[in-house]
Structure 1
Amino acid sequence: MRKFDVIVLGAGAAGLMCAAVAGQRNRRVLLVEHNTQPGRKILISGGGRCNFTNIHCTPANFISENPHFAKSALALYEPSHFLELVERYGIKWHEKTLGQLFCDHSARQIVDMLLAECERGHVEVLLNARGIAVEGTSGAFRVECSAGMFTAGALVVATGGLSIPKMGATGLVYELAQQFGLKVVEPRPALVPLVLGGREKSWVELAGVAADVTVHAGSGPKFREKLLVTHRGLSGPAVLQASSYWRPGEVIHVDFVPDANGQGRLLEALRGDGGRRDAVAFKQELRAVLPQRLAGHLAEVGAPAGWSNLALDAAERNLRNWPFHPAGTEGFEKAEVTAGGVDTDGLNSKTMEARAVPGLFFIGEGVDVTGHLGGFNFQWAWASAVAAGREV
């Protein structure tokens, strides 16, 4: 049985960062990963270029049962701190829309950087560790796996959520949380395409059509980005954002003409004196502001109940607040992240340590803190990892 100061479970974004920070504090660290390579989700992120942070990151970009929990860690380690690390390694980057930062070349550079940081801290990395099991109490943890048995005074759980199971995702973080008496907010797919059924199934005939819209679900914020119709339902950045707030049985609302501000501007030609008021004129107005196939479909399913001004007003309001009734999501297989997770009430927001179990830490996606699309979830991984890495 080999002894360490710290054992980190999971060599993803959060685990790699935490192990590096702890190791560089002269802690003897073992990083345990059940996959055959570290950072697998980093490698596929951002289309292979890794959207590693967002310069506009604030606590408002995160969802949690406790919206204040993430503030301490995010203030401790900001996007500028990670960017400094990226530039120190000579990694070229660029900013896309809405403050999203990507590697110019490959996400592999981020993984190599984190591994180099682990090496600087003399972290021992153990890959292909199967059958991970944990025993112990405060300050004395034993980890057993296919590679042997190890003990440490501190244990950091960074095994991620349930999203993208083909990349090795498991529910280990939730099992360990419950094993040590912590509550878990029910995990659910987030940043995930939505499936349409019933009468709305006809929308999938528009698969491939994209439009700039505003979308919101429930009491969540409005997201102004692209909507994409798929062969199963709705996707695109705007829908993925709203999906994190959506619950089964709820409606999502789409404004198909977000630039048509002010009552009457969209269908003004139909309202004017002598204006043509019929289905052909209605479709022409929609085609002026929307992709042709989308305009044609909306002209059919959203036609006014008549051609009076009141009917035209109602049709326009509907176009600006179109209700969809998703039958579900495409599940964890297509979800970019997992919402829910280890209940933050049981964690110290400054250190990520379990309040009732000294020496036990939970970081990253497995915690009930979920970011918006656009680099925010990576920033949470870095920030929560540094918070724990400086404490273990």
Structure 2
Amino acid sequence: NISGGAPQAFAPGAVITRLTIRAARDSSFEARFEAMPYVQTICFRPPIPAKPQIAGTIAARVTSSKANDPYAHIDMEGRYRVNFLFDRDDWKLGHESMWLRQARPYAGDTHGQHFPLIAGTEVAVAFEHGDPDRPYIAHALHDSKHPDHVSLRNYKRNVLRTPANNKLRMEDERGQEHVKLSTEHSGKSQLNLGHLVDAGKKKRGEGFELRTDGWGAIRAGKGLFISADAQPQAQGQVLDMNAALAQLNNALQLVTTLAQSAAAADALSADGQSQQGLRDRLAQLKSAGLIASAPGGMALTTPQNLQLSAGENLTATAGDSADITVLKRFSVAAGGPSACLPRSSASNCLPPVARWKSRPKPTPWR
């Protein structure tokens, strides 16, 4: 029986929209329902249920379309595919999910930070606003098959290492701080700074080392300054070359002084103007030159040939003595005038050409 204010509305029938059934040992069976009159022109639309949400993250592993792929499997937008660990279905290799973005600490228009993830890497997948249809890789994780490269054995180190062992390592142990930038190519090409150690953490030096088993080049388009003069705690200007310029000034002063003696003897003197011009150009590297300075001395040595070549002037200046020792042949050739001017009577010097030509031919050395 239908009771209420409009029973005739249900005469054609009713569409049940809600049904509740209740029964117990101490009560009778009871069925309650809600219904609406049946009308062909009106359809029942139940309320749209709320979309499910996922809180937290879900474990997954990065996949690739190639077995044992040594490189990341990503698309043109840098996205990944993953296999959720709860998923037991069989999928085509590299098609286990939709393409997923990876969250990173820095990103922008064709710039940012991206260290590609290779197949097998465990990741935690999060969902934007909890929406199951908007997953993204929140972060990557180490696991028992892919252990952390920083552990109790080296917990004082900060290490960025790629699968190919390209490495940036920063040691924070007090008193043994160092930085190492390394690649396996060309026989461990490395830049080592600070407290230098070997693979066994044994000290092998201090300061800095730039090394490779391959080729090396140092190139500076505006000039290059190499100095062993101290600049404690990196205080001072980068191109502070006062010590080097002082040596050049001393050399120029020596040339000027000896030039006066040469002029008094009506002899050919050194070209001081070219030295002055070189000194001015090298000061603060006004031109693309190279200047090297070392307070403790320098040595250039090779078991084979050594050549010094200048397109214009070649100048050698010594504040004390100059020694040239040759075991076999020694040759000096000048296409123009030449001079040898001793300042003291104790000096030995070859006589001018016009004078020794008239003398008897000396006996060859034996």
| TM-score, structure 1 as length reference | 0.21
Q: Which has the larger helix fraction?
A: 1
Instruction: Pick 1 or 2: higher relative contact order, CA cutoff 8 A, min separation 6.
Output: 1
The two structures have a TM-score, normalised by structure 2, of 0.22
Higher alpha-carbon Rg:
2
